[in-house]
């Protein structure tokens, strides 16, 4: 089985690569590439995201045909795809970080700044926080509710359809921290930085 981590110049993704390789060991082939043919023929794809919404979308657009290939993989072939941090946010129709930027439009919604209640909550939201699991998901198999995950973000994904929400975390409001729509999964937290529980989520995704 091949799992491809999409490399599109979105910042340092070495921890994502290392964690997936640690979990996969020799059982699964982990590729890190922006090669369209490799992505198309993969069994599963991981879309990391470091930096701003705009910089990540610009990164995808900088590789000719990459967005079309990802659309084909996720929407037509309906193979499993996992977005991490801004990787999840880009599923939205639109994002408002830096400037208004069109997203991938896979899960209807928007990405807006966390309401920090006039400075009462520090932004970015950095560190460990509990997740409140809203419904069963294969990627949360054997993950206990109120597990702690590692976060680094100032913006949140606000989906139109609340049924796609897998988990929230309490930071000024209930911030969506995981979503699922059919074969498309996303986490706002960083499983690759969330110790053994995060590795379990990575293993769950690889095992789908």
State the catalytic residues: 85, 190, 192
CA distance 143 to 19: 17
Buried b (16+ CB within 10 A) or exposed e, 168-194: bbebeeebbbbbbbeebbbbbbbbbbb
* Sign, CA torsion 45/101/14/141: negative
Report, in angstroms and rounded to the nearest whole number, the Rg of the chain calculated over CA atoms: 16
CA 55-57-59 angle, to 5 degrees, is 65
CA distance 128 to 141: 20
């Amino acid at each position: 089985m091949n799992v491809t981590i999409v490399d599109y110049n979105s910042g340092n993704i070495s921890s994502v690569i290392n964690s997936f390789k640690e979990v996969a060991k020799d059982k699964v082939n982990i590729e890190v590439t922006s090669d369209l043919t490799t992505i198309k023929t993969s069994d599963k794809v991981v879309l990391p995201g470091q930096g701003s919404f705009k910089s990540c979308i610009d990164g995808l657009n900088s590789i000719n045909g990459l967005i079309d290939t990802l659309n084909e993989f996720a929407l037509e072939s309906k193979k499993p795809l996992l977005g991490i941090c801004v990787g999840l946010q880009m599923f939205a129709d639109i994002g408002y970080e830096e400037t208004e930027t069109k997203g991938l439009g896979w899960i209807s919604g928007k990405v807006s700044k966390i309401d920090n209640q006039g400075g009462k909550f520090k932004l970015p939201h950095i560190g460990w926080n509990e997740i409140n699991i809203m419904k069963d998901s294969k990627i949360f198999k054997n993950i206990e509710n109120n597990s702690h995950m590692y976060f680094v973000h100032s913006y949140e994904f606000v989906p139109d359809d609340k049924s796609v929400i897998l988990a929230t975390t309490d930071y000024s409001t209930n911030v969506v921290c995981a979503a699922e729509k059919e074969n498309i999964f996303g986490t706002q937290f960083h499983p690759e930085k969330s110790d053994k529980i995060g590795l379990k989520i990575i293993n769950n995704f690889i095992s789908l």
